[in-house]
Chain A
Amino acid sequence: MPISSTIFVESVSLVEILNGVPLGIVLLDSSLCVLRMNRFFEALTGYSEEDALGVPGNFIIRSDLHTRGQVYQQILKSGESLIQEGTIINCHRKKLPILFTISPLHDNQGQIAGLIIVLEDLSSFQHAERNTSGADSKGKILGHSPKMQEAFELIPVLARTDASLLITGETGTGKDMIAEVIHQSSKRARQPFVKINCGALPESLLESELFGHVRGAFTGAVTDKPGMFRLAQNGTIFLTEIGDLPLSLQVKLLTVLDDREFYPVGGSKKVKVNVRVIAATHRSLREQVRKGLFREDLFYRLNVLRIHLPPLREREGDIRLLLDHFLRDFVSQLGSHIRGFSTTCLELLLAYGFSGNVRELRNIVEYAANICPGELITPEHLPKYIFAQAGDRESGAHKPSASDPSRGEQRPHAPTKTETRISENWQKTERDMILDAMKKTGGNRTKAADLLGWGRTTLWRKLKAL
């Protein structure tokens, strides 16, 4: 018998009670379809009761608790309540953190006749936590090194203001993540965070993407387009690779930063925007200004606040932390049984330069986690190019990348104690690897070189140096 005839038909006032509760509540029948919902649930999901009536609940709630309704089915079968945190994506395309409380409903005979699902929106709690705890504001960014701690301490300060912010740092240091964390920690957190890569589009397209266009502005402009600045209204726009922004658009961006208004492409009416601008670059903007590639006035306008993210090689102790973190992530994703890195492998990775910084480290761990069939990652599970670079560095061939923003601005780099120790460790590791390969191949140099992923001449050179 449907739950509606046993509970709700005669109990009209129950709906009023449900509406009086400031939590989202939905009632599902025995076939897990929507029977009733309160107003708060309508507000959370964006669905009206009229639209949702009779539709399977998981299509309306759109939670991440399950993909095919198994959770509700299990509760229906077992009769045991469930309290679990998760998310929903509502009709307004917002992903909301939710605490779900799912309990069975029984009829007069004590049989389970449906479910009651209570949704508690946790966004406000998370927002409050972010505002009260500086440590939480760093979110998913990891780092115990003093330089990263300095950066973390700056985040709450940078989030409190609306001033333009410039994030600098080499590629792969986490500029995008920091920008998002700052936005999420700011009062604009519930508004859009729009990211655009200034180096990814040609000049003509970029202007239209940033500032929008009006219908008929150019061939193919068949409708009005709002542009990223308007899409980010009341939120934050993140201009990554700002150093690649063409000069002509730099003028327009300067106007937006100064006046908070601009003309869309082909438009005659000014558009006002309230957007916080965060820019990032891996280039040295000072150098770009000197070369005449970046406007000095825009540089100073963007450089109101600045945060520099250190490269991985300057983050003492963080490599180990990140290696373990990413390995844990990939192991759980892949469902493998890897326990960790072998000592040789760890020494090798700690000695590696990571010119691509955290991004490169993550990719290396992902590669190793996919390749390693056993429980311990050894050097043979690492990408081969690591050995080549380590070898080059040893012979003094490693040079800072041309795009390094700190190039020319830093003191000459003298090897530290750690680096000396690492270099010695590497020499020992390499020696062991060569001997091991030679043993395995019965002294055949060609096969040993293949096994090591080197050219025959490289192996010859290294053998001579032993």
Chain B
Amino acid sequence: MKILITITGDNVAPRFDMVSALLIASYDSHGLTEKPRTLLMARPSPEELCSLILKENITLVICGGIEERHYKYLSWKKVEIFDSVIGPVSEVLDLAIKNRLRAGTILHSARNVNSD
């Protein structure tokens, strides 16, 4: 199985349509099967990103906000999407591999504890 996470810095990017950095990781029931790789797109384009997702045979997309039309398109193409995810990429990836991530997850580590 193959995951794609839209990223900004060390975190999941807030918007699918504005992202230009991606992390792609392959995994099976034992964990990661290879080192995750980072990909940079020439420019943010949701259409090109959707094409890339299909070309790379991604099975799970983890992102922040995504428009309904892109969500529907990818769902129609049998790609699972966990959207509205907020948190550091490494933790998000770890949870996804352990099948403990869901759409809308906000990780505790994403919060600024000082501001509470």
Stretch at the interface among B25-33, B59-67, B94-102: B59-67
Q: Are A4 and B115 in contact (CB under 8 A)?
A: yes
With a cutoff of 8 Å between Cβ atoms, the chain B residues found around residue A204 in the complex are none
Main secondary structure of the interface of A (DSSP, over half): mixed
Tell me, yes or no, whether B13 is within 8 Å of chain A by CB: yes
Q: Are B104 and A64 in contact (CB under 8 A)?
A: no
Q: Are A93 and B8 in contact (CB under 8 A)?
A: no
Q: Are B106 and A89 in contact (CB under 8 A)?
A: no
A59 to B11, CA, bound (A): 10
A-facing residues in B49-97 (Cβ within 8 Å) = 64-69, 71-72, 76, 83-84, 86
With a cutoff of 8 Å between Cβ atoms, the chain B residues found around residue A90 in the complex are 65
Given contacts A2-B115, A89-B17, contact A62 B106 (CB under 8 A): no
Given contacts A62-B64, A93-B68, contact A209 B86 (CB under 8 A): no
With a cutoff of 8 Å between Cβ atoms, the chain A residues found around residue B64 in the complex are 59, 62
Given contacts A53-B116, A62-B15, A64-B15, contact A93 B65 (CB under 8 A): yes
B-facing residues in A158-201 (Cβ within 8 Å) = 192-194
With a cutoff of 8 Å between Cβ atoms, the chain A residues found around residue B86 in the complex are 55, 59-60
Nearest chain A CB to B84's CB is how many angstroms away?
Answer: 5
Q: Are B14 and A91 in contact (CB under 8 A)?
A: no
Residue of B nearest to A52 (CB): B106
With a cutoff of 8 Å between Cβ atoms, the chain B residues found around residue A2 in the complex are 114-115
Tell me, yes or no, whether A68 is within 8 Å of chain B by CB: yes
A64 to B15, CA, bound (A): 8
With a cutoff of 8 Å between Cβ atoms, the chain B residues found around residue A209 in the complex are 76
Given contacts A58-B14, A67-B18, A333-B43, contact A192 B112 (CB under 8 A): no
Q: Are A91 and B84 in contact (CB under 8 A)?
A: yes
Tell me, yes or no, whether A10 is within 8 Å of chain B by CB: no
Tell me, yes or no, whether A35 is within 8 Å of chain B by CB: yes
Given contacts A51-B106, A89-B15, contact A56 B68 (CB under 8 A): no
* Residue in A53, A61, A93 whose beta carbon sits within 8 Å of that of B66 in the complex: A93
A1-28 vs B, CB cutoff 8 Å, 1 = contact: the mask equals: 0101000000000000000000000000
Tell me, yes or no, whether B1 is within 8 Å of chain A by CB: no
B10-44 vs A, CB cutoff 8 Å, 1 = contact: the mask equals: 01011111111000000000000000000000011
With a cutoff of 8 Å between Cβ atoms, the chain B residues found around residue A206 in the complex are none
A62 to B65, CA, bound (A): 7
Q: Are A64 and B18 in contact (CB under 8 A)?
A: yes
A44-59 vs B, CB cutoff 8 Å, 1 = contact: the mask equals: 0000000101111011
* Residue in A54, A68, A194 whose beta carbon sits within 8 Å of that of B115 in the complex: A54
With a cutoff of 8 Å between Cβ atoms, the chain B residues found around residue A88 in the complex are 65
Which of A58, A88, A93 has its CB near the most chain B CB atoms (within 10 A)? Answer: A93
Q: Are A89 and B116 in contact (CB under 8 A)?
A: no
Q: Are B113 and A54 in contact (CB under 8 A)?
A: yes
Q: Are B65 and A55 in contact (CB under 8 A)?
A: no
Residue of B nearest to A196 (CB): B76
Tell me, yes or no, whether A257 is within 8 Å of chain B by CB: no
Q: Are B14 and A29 in contact (CB under 8 A)?
A: no
A91 to B64, CA, bound (A): 9
Given contacts A89-B17, A194-B72, contact A54 B116 (CB under 8 A): yes
Residue of B nearest to A90 (CB): B65
A4 to B114, CA, bound (A): 11
Given contacts A59-B86, A62-B14, A67-B8, contact A31 B112 (CB under 8 A): yes
Q: Are A231 and B111 in contact (CB under 8 A)?
A: no
A91 to B67, CA, bound (A): 9
Tell me, yes or no, whether A106 is within 8 Å of chain B by CB: no
Tell me, yes or no, whether A337 is within 8 Å of chain B by CB: no
A193 to B44, CA, bound (A): 23
A58 to B11, CA, bound (A): 12
Nearest chain A CB to B102's CB is how many angstroms away?
Answer: 13
Nearest chain B CB to A120's CB is how many angstroms away?
Answer: 19
* Residue in A54, A64, A92 whose beta carbon sits within 8 Å of that of B111 in the complex: A54
Additional A-B contacts beyond A35-B115, A56-B112, A68-B8 (17; CB < 8 A): A34-B115, A53-B116, A54-B113, A55-B110, A55-B111, A60-B86, A61-B14, A67-B8, A67-B13, A89-B67, A90-B65, A91-B104, A92-B68, A93-B68, A93-B83, A94-B67, A95-B67
Q: Which 3 A-B pairs have the closest CB atoms?
A: A89-B65, A54-B111, A33-B112
A residues contacting B by CB (< 8 A) are 2, 4, 29, 31, 33-35, 51, 53-56, 58-62, 64, 67-68, 88-95, 192-194, 209, 231, 333
List, sorted by A's number, 22 A–B pairs whose CB atoms are closer than 8 Å. A4-B115, A31-B114, A33-B111, A51-B106, A53-B115, A54-B115, A55-B86, A56-B110, A59-B86, A59-B110, A67-B15, A67-B18, A67-B44, A88-B65, A89-B16, A89-B17, A89-B67, A91-B65, A91-B84, A91-B104, A93-B71, A94-B68
